[in-house]
């Protein structure tokens, strides 16, 4: 009867060398996952409190990835057929002690090896039946879940690239439409420029006989002699006492044009104008009295 050595067992393997831990500590964790399925071994290592469990978990995932990529075996059909830890080189260090003595410190290392094999079809069917009886299906392993996530991320990246190209095409179309709109607006502006414009609003803002003042209130020409204030709606002829102190907003040719635009004289000048007719009447009455006296 031929005996197969542990390191010669068939299957997919992964090895981690020069691990900074003793072989004894690694073996205590490896004994927990031996002959366990890949999923069960991953769960045990995930909830183990030993620090070496993280390194063994990486070695287990590496063996499963080798089985999937090289042998085409799904991680759901794998189990740990062998796992062991060999002693590696030991580093010697010294620690000073009392009375000039020294104590040796041995910093041990180990080599961890995990071998995964595939369940037989009968064993796989029995496992699935057992899982169905328990009411739970075989959940995907961590490696399988990672592989699915990678595929989904690649599909999402491809969709995003397709969406970006579509967005770029849409933006290009919008830019073309925008340029067409600009051309149409430019044509409309050129047509508007070709049409004759009415300058009455700009040259005579308050109708005929009015003109806008300059920035410094200067009159546009000599025919415009009457100043107008837009804020108070008052106009000042040259004989107004406020004429020299007023900065004109609008200039008028005549007082009639200013009154048509809604402007009025200052209150003081309006009172003087009202008094002027009464004085004229008094003059006329005195003339009539003189004539009657001369006639008598």
pLDDT of residue 292: 53
Q: Calculate the dihedral angle through the C-alpha atoms of 233, 236, 237, 239, rounding to the nearest 10 degrees.
A: 150
pLDDT of residue 43: 94
pLDDT of residue 140: 55
Per-residue pLDDT of the chain (296 residues; tens, 9 = 90+): 566 777 777 889 999 999 999 999 999 999 999 999 999 999 999 999 999 999 999 999 999 999 999 988 888 899 999 999 999 999 999 999 999 999 999 999 999 999 999 999 898 888 888 888 876 555 555 556 677 788 888 888 888 887 777 777 767 777 676 666 666 666 666 555 544 444 444 567 777 778 887 777 777 787 887 888 888 788 888 888 778 778 788 888 888 888 888 888 887 777 666 555 544 444 455 555 455 555 54
SS3 per residue for 183-238: HHHHHHHHHHHHCCCCCHHHHCCCCCCEEECCCCCCCCCCCCCEEEECCCCEEECC
Domains and CATH numbers, the chain: 6-153 (3.90.470.10), 208-295 (no CATH)
Radius of gyration of the chain (CA): 54
- Measured CA to CA, the distance from residue 80 to residue 64 in angstroms comes to 10
Nearest to 142 by CA among 227, 43, 67, 52: 43
pLDDT of residue 84: 95
């Amino acid at each position: 009867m031929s005996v197969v050595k542990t390191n010669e067992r068939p299957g997919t393997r992964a090895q981690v060398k020069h691990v900074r831990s003793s072989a004894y500590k690694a073996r205590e964790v490896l004994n927990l996952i031996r002959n366990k399925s890949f999923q069960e071994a991953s769960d045990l290592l995930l909830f183990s409190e030993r620090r070496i469990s993280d390194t063994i978990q990486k070695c287990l995932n590496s063996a499963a990835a080798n089985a999937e990529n090289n042998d085409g075996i799904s991680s759901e059909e794998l189990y740990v057929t062998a796992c062991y830890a060999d002693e590696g080189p030991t580093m010697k260090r010294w620690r000073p002690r009392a009375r000039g003595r020294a104590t040796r410190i041995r910093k041990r290392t180990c080599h961890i090896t995990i071998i995964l094999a595939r369940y037989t079809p009968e064993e796989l069917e029995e496992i699935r039946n057992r899982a169905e009886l328990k009411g739970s299906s075989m959940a995907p392993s961590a490696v399988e879940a990672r592989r699915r996530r990678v595929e989904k991320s690649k599909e999402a990246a491809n969709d995003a690239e397709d969406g970006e190209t579509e967005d770029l095409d849409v933006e290009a179309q919008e830019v073309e439409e925008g340029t067409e709109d600009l051309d149409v607006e430019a044509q409309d502006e050129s047509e508007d420029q070709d049409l004759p414009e009415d300058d009455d609003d700009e040259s005579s803002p308050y109708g005929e006989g009015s003109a806008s003042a300059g920035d410094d209130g200067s009159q546009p020409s000599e025919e415009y002699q009457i100043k107008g204030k837009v804020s108070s709606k008052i106009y000042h002829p040259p004989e107004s006492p406020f004429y020299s102190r007023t900065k004109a907003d609008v200039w008028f040719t005549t007082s009639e044009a200013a009154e048509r635009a809604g402007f009025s004289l200052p209150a003081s000048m309006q009172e003087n104008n009202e008094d002027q007719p009464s004085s004229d009447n008094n003059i006329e009455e005195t003339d009539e009295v003189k004539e009657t006296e001369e006639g008598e």
